[in-house]
Chain A
Amino acid sequence: MIGYKTVFFRGKNGNGQSKARRAGKKSGMELAHDKFKFVRLFFVLAILAVLILLTGIIITLGPLNISVPDAYSALLARFWPEYFQVETLTSRVVWNIRFPRIVGGMMAGFGLGICGCVMQAVLKNPLASPFTLGITAGAQFGISIAAVAGFTLLGGPYFIVGNAFVFALLCSLFIIALAAIKGATSENLVLAGIAVNYFFTAISQLLKYFASDEQLRLMTNWGMGDLAAFSWANSRLLLVIFLICFPLLMSKSWDLNIMTAGDEAAKSIGVDAEKTRIFIMVITSLLVATIVCFMGTIAFVGLVAPHMARMVIGGDHRFLIPASGVLGALVLISADAVGMNLIAPTIIPTGIMTSIVGVPFFMYLMMKGKRKEFWT
């Protein structure tokens, strides 16, 4: 009798369904959902595998010939010298020259990707990126006054980087404070961000107007965005910031899912939308200011990596945040590899190359999508 009901009344008879469930039978929709969940997890793992593969390939590019297996051996030999042996020269080139740049690119791309992802969610705006909050404008301003007026907050080797970092943070904190007073709605934040962006860009341009040729060059170079400034010491600092920020962002995954449904819905499901928004802003500001002060403006990655991820795996931030990060890293290190080797020995700045390589690829994905909303 039970079997009869489960077969013939599925979808109508409430009792029959729960028995079907207990018997472990699944409806077509449930199977489709299981498949979707599998694809989602598989995608995150697959792009991670591609990232590792690509790292090995990019290491081999350069004046000294290194094979892909040697590249991996050189890296692994650092941790398990008893199992992996490579020539000292190869080891040095890989570990001291090629790998740090890749690690820097990965961390920057990953950071910009996850920040873009959470910013788009809390601002409910597909055009939001880490730079909506005026971070670049602030950093550029910090560099401009360091270069032109000679005003620096930190001395020594960090005089430029320190200024960029502090002013980037100040700028975004100013926007967050404004929004906190006026009400942290997404509209207020986006408007304040754009206004402050224009203001600091204008001041930077004013300073440029009075700058000497040498000062101009310093300002322009930074604006292009480059990985050359990355070293192991910088990476370690970035890694620490990462280890603090990434888990904090991931812990808010559910709240971010809900916040894309609007503030009212979020509140009714138990999420304090405005507090969460400010929390996310503070974390992203810290992370992006750290990345930007070392490598300048690479705006495209933070905007686009989350859209690429969303096209494949949908809107669940438990998967979307890491996927956006890994895709960001992939785009950045591939673009940088092209920039390094296209007209070697001249190195094209990373920021320029990311947009030149990334935009056509993104356009292709956009046009290829069958659905109306391209970021599905």
Chain B
Amino acid sequence: MMIKLQAKDITFSYNSHPILDNVDFEIAPARLVTIVGPNGSGKSTLIKCIDRIVSPQKGSILIDRKDVTQMSRRDVARYLSYVPQSSVRVFPTNVFDTILMGRRPHIGWLGSDDDEAKVWDVLRLLNIERLAMSNFNELSGGQQQKVLIARALVQEAEVMLLDEPTSNLDIWHQLDVMNIIRDVVRKREITALMALHDLNLASTFSDRIIMMKKGKIVAAGDPTSVITAENIASVYRVQAAVRIMSDRPMIMPLQQIREGRA
């Protein structure tokens, strides 16, 4: 099997409080992979460790067998792009300039017409060209998320990391953003790895799902093998009904499991 992204023994602790404990996984090219798990399971931290926004105490991250932990930050940005959950800007910036920032790993000081052309292409791809001159801060949550995805796309990295891209979005925009991500994974053959809270969205859109609990991977594989009533009971402490709809498992949470209490 071809491997695009590989994480080896990633261990991270914050003030000697362990967050990630020997996390290990491999991802094939052009796949959409989601990381799910309860609050505090280490999803977002794992994403940040991979992009070296925080440095893991132990472990390595390989892209095409090249070690990301040994690269300069600029080189990392050529291999990995990152879409934050949200971004508040103190000083207003228009959408075009916000996206153009993603070209920084590639451009010189002057910038070129080619870089601008790439920004226009991505603006059209995501169908947000009309927002080009709008102030980023004045956009709706869904529009902001698209702009952040656009910024990651112009970075032209082969692996895109996303930190809960659908949080704070209504269901229409959740589907919109997930469809966009799936489209770019298919069309541009990008590998996308995202942390996600919504299990049904993860199930609907993912090629593979990684389920985490307390900094460890407890299950990984295709949605049907990971999204099961047993896994949800043990990882989330929630009793859930799981039904298969168009080949994908869908869950309906029923009640909390309160072990150890009367």
Residue ranges of A at the interface with B (Cβ–Cβ < 8 Å): 11-12, 14, 17-18, 21, 27, 29-30, 32-33, 36, 120-121, 124-126, 251, 253-255, 257-258, 260-262, 264-265, 267-272, 310, 314-316, 318, 371, 373, 375-376
- Taken residue by residue from 38 to 64, chain B's Cβ proximity to chain A (1 for < 8 Å, 0 otherwise) reads as 000000000010011100000000000
A260 touches B93 (CB 8 A): yes
* Chain B, 95-135, CB within 8 A of any chain A CB: 96-98, 101-102, 104-105, 107, 109, 117, 120-121, 123-125, 127, 129-130, 132-133, 135
B97 touches A314 (CB 8 A): yes
B76 touches A270 (CB 8 A): yes
A11 touches B129 (CB 8 A): yes
Residue ranges of B at the interface with A (Cβ–Cβ < 8 Å): 48, 51-53, 73-78, 80-82, 84, 87-94, 96-98, 101-102, 104-105, 107, 109, 117, 120-121, 123-125, 127, 129-130, 132-133, 135, 137, 151, 155, 161
Chain A residue at minimum C-beta to C-beta distance from B71? A270
Q: Could you say which of A258, A315, A376 has the most chain B C-beta atoms within 10 Å of its C-beta?
A: A315
**Least Cβ distance of A294 to chain B in Å?**
30
B92 touches A271 (CB 8 A): no
A271 touches B124 (CB 8 A): no
A264 touches B102 (CB 8 A): no
B97 touches A268 (CB 8 A): no
Chain B residue at minimum C-beta to C-beta distance from A17? B124
CA A36 to CA B75, docked complex, whole Å:
32
A270 partner residues in chain B, CB cutoff 8 A: 73-78, 104-105
Chain B residue at minimum C-beta to C-beta distance from A267? B53
**Least Cβ distance of A282 to chain B in Å?**
20
A268 touches B92 (CB 8 A): no
CA A12 to CA B128, docked complex, whole Å:
11
Chain A residue at minimum C-beta to C-beta distance from B131? A29
Instruction: List 6 additional A-B contacts (Cβ < 8 Å) besides A17-B121, A254-B109.
Output: A18-B121, A33-B96, A120-B91, A260-B89, A264-B82, A268-B161
**Least Cβ distance of A308 to chain B in Å?**
13
The 6 closest A-B pairs by CB, nearest first: A270-B77, A268-B82, A270-B74, A315-B93, A270-B105, A29-B132
B127 partner residues in chain A, CB cutoff 8 A: 11-12
B81 touches A14 (CB 8 A): no
Chain B residue at minimum C-beta to C-beta distance from A260? B91
Cβ-defined partner of A315 (8 Å) among B74, B92, B130, B133: B92
A267 touches B124 (CB 8 A): no
CA A58 to CA B32, docked complex, whole Å:
66
Cβ-defined partner of B104 (8 Å) among A17, A254, A314: A254
A257 touches B132 (CB 8 A): no
Cβ-defined partner of B133 (8 Å) among A36, A253, A255, A316: A36
A272 partner residues in chain B, CB cutoff 8 A: 73
CA A96 to CA B52, docked complex, whole Å:
57
Cβ-defined partner of A14 (8 Å) among B80, B125, B129: B125
Chain A residue at minimum C-beta to C-beta distance from B125? A14
Chain B residue at minimum C-beta to C-beta distance from A316? B97
A126 partner residues in chain B, CB cutoff 8 A: 90-91
A267 touches B51 (CB 8 A): yes
Chain A residue at minimum C-beta to C-beta distance from B133? A32
**Least Cβ distance of A128 to chain B in Å?**
10
CA A7 to CA B173, docked complex, whole Å:
29
Chosen A-B contacts, 11 in total, with CB atoms closer than 8 Å, are A12-B127, A29-B132, A121-B91, A124-B90, A251-B109, A258-B101, A260-B90, A264-B84, A265-B87, A268-B84, A270-B104
Provided the pairs A29-B130, A269-B155, A270-B74 are in contact, do residues A257 and B97 lie with their beta carbons within 8 angstroms?
Answer: yes
CA A318 to CA B108, docked complex, whole Å:
12
A262 touches B135 (CB 8 A): no
Q: Could you say which of A11, A258, A268, A272 has the most chain B C-beta atoms within 10 Å of its C-beta?
A: A268
CA A124 to CA B96, docked complex, whole Å:
20
B125 touches A271 (CB 8 A): no
B87 partner residues in chain A, CB cutoff 8 A: 261-262, 265
A254 partner residues in chain B, CB cutoff 8 A: 101, 104, 107, 109
**Least Cβ distance of A341 to chain B in Å?**
36
